Amino acid sequence: MSLNTPIFLKEREEDNSKFEEIQQSQTTSIAAEDPLQNLCLASQEVLQKAQQNGRSRCLKCGGSRMFYCYTCYVPVENVPIEHIPCVKLPLEIDIIKHPNETDGKSTAVHAKLLAPEFVNIYTYPCIPEYEEKDHEVALVFPGPKSVSVKDISFHLQKRIQNVRSKNDDPDKPSIKRKKTEEQGLNDSKCEDTTLKKIVFIDSTWNQTNKIFTDERLQGLLQVELKTRKTCFWRHQKGKPDTFLSTIEAIYYFLVDYHTDILKEKYKGQYDNLLFFYSFMHQLIKNAKCPGNKETRKLTR
């Protein structure tokens, strides 16, 4: 019997190893299907209670809403503001909302609720003036001229160089002017050329063209998030799964910005931007389960 024990132990170790591999594979698969499951979020108990109690009153306009007022950008009465996380961002965010975008369906409100000091929402045709700041502002929007997040600093430095070149005395000898331009690029690396503001368009994808083609946005550097896939429950028919909802685009941009531009390890600093989004996503996911009537009281 003692001779068989090592064999038994070896088989047991192999079985355990296979079991761990299967568990790890299942975990990886689930994470790929649901990237929202491993977020570092504040307690959502306040949202669970609010969902059970139903709509509540907005303390500003008196409207009946679920979780928050999408008109006033504040939590409703049964969602105390002190129970809502406040997220600190590394830069300012402007959101340009299409006038026909349904307020109750927009996820842009989440950003304003959760990072109120850093986020501003404008309704088109109201757009801030960016002309003199295009070296420190970028627009997140896909297109042939879009660059990746990691290349933002390079392109902003080129813009500063171009401005300096235009300001050079045209009577300077070309060799000296070239040297000045090179020196300008080197100097710009020592200056604060970090992106200071990022702009997002909030609308259905079929409506974005009107805002995107506005001349006030045409001079901005375009940035595209090419590797992210949406979890949005209102996925637009005929559009690729890389077309993100507004709050997803904001969140994923900041994660990439943190690692690729700030060169810091990401530890969930912006996960709470998905505080409402992840909860609503789970509600709708549960509502699709047969016989689950309670979670069908959604957020409209």
In this predicted structure, the answer to whether residue 224 has a pLDDT above a threshold of 60 is yes
Please tell me the distance from the alpha carbon of residue 144 to that of residue 224, in angstroms, as a whole number: 10
What's the confidence (pLDDT) of residue 9? 52
Residue 140 shares a structural domain with residue 258: yes
Q: Name the nearest CA neighbour of 200 among 108, 81, 294, 82.
A: 108
Is residue 14 domain-resident?
no
Count CB-CB contacts under 10 A for residue 273. 28
Q: Are 54 and 125 in a shared domain?
A: no
Cα 96 to its chain centre, rounded Å, is: 15
Question: In whole numbers, what is the pLDDT of the chain averaged over residues?
Answer: 81
Residues 99 and 138 in one domain: yes
Q: Are 110 and 73 in contact (CB under 8 A)?
A: no
Q: Are residues 76 and 149 in the same domain?
A: no
Residues 250-267 pLDDT 10s = 999 999 999 999 999 999
pLDDT digits (tens, 9 = 90+) for 5-24: 555 555 555 555 544 443 44
**Domain-terminating residue out of 27, 50, 83:** 83
Reply yes or no on whether the pLDDT at 159 is more than 50. yes
**Domain count within the chain:** 2
Q: Which domain holds residue 274?
A: 85-163+193-288
Burial of 247 (0-12, 13-18, 19+ CB in 10 A): buried
Tell me, yes or no, whether 27 lies in a domain: no
**Pair 78, 200 in one domain:** no
Question: What span, in angstroms and rounded, lies between the C-alpha atoms of 219 and 138?
Answer: 9
Give the end of a domain, one of 53, 83, 113.
Answer: 83
